[in-house]
Amino acid sequence: MPRERKPRTWVKMDCEGLLRGSINYLLPLDGQAVWLKMIALSEICGGRAGYIEDNNHSGLPREYIAQELHCGVELLEMVLQKMQGDGAININGTGSIQLVNFAHYQFSEYDRQKPFRDKRKQKKSYGEFNNVLLLDEEKQKLIQKYGEVGFRERVEKLSLGIESKGYKYRSHYATILNWERRDEKNNQGKNKSRTTPTTEELDNSVKELYEDDK
């Protein structure tokens, strides 16, 4: 079974928890060292980051884990018991050891942005300068909304803006929609100002009617 992501060669440490957390009164110093090594081991072994397990999501023999951590089996069992009681680990039915808060402390902003990077790779380039990026479904939605000609006009407008003024947007699809709403709002404001006569215009209209009646 493939790993969900490439294992890193380093882990981050929660300094507050390390110096003032529950491990300081739950575990002796050698137990704390084992716990820190468990954090590192959960990054590089098995199929999932934050789990001590094999590639099939099944638990590893305690002897093997103790050998990897360079500690005795009794010390390892004591750490597992204490940390499980503290809610820091979860041992499931297959024996996999999950470090409950691993993802919270270890996953970086780079990891959290992975889905957006993957989606960006699926986008295709449009416009004269090939700098407007859209997913196929985004393109189809714009064509349905504005037609083929309207789609090309809006794409070219954005393409020119990006090239000439260095515009940067997270979503070009959302930008086109936002520009369209802004233009509609501005046009409505202009139409409203044209259709609402001023007091002077009303006075002139009354005068013209009065003169026509003569």
pLDDT digits (tens, 9 = 90+) for 28-81: 999 999 999 999 999 998 878 899 999 899 999 999 999 999 999 999 999 999
Share of residues in the chain with pLDDT > 70 (%): 80
Please give the mean pLDDT across all residues of the chain. Answer: 85
Matching residue, tokens 């086109």: 176
Q: What is the DSSP letter of 56?
A: T
**Domains present along the chain, CATH in parentheses:** 15-109 (1.10.10.10), 116-213 (no CATH)
Could you give the CA distance from residue 10 to residue 16 in angstroms, rounded to a whole number?
19
The yes-or-no verdict on residue 207 having pLDDT over 60 is no
The yes-or-no verdict on residue 171 having pLDDT over 70 is yes
Which token pair is 175? Answer: 């930008």
Could you give the CA distance from residue 96 to residue 36 in angstroms, rounded to a whole number?
18
Contact by Cβ (8 Å): 5, 43? no
Task: Write the CA distances from 139 to 77, 93, 155, 162, integer angstroms.
Answer: 57, 47, 10, 18
- Position with higher pLDDT, 199 vs 89: 89
Task: Write the CA distances from 80 to 16, 23, 50, 96, integer angstroms.
Answer: 21, 12, 15, 12
pTM score over 0.75: no
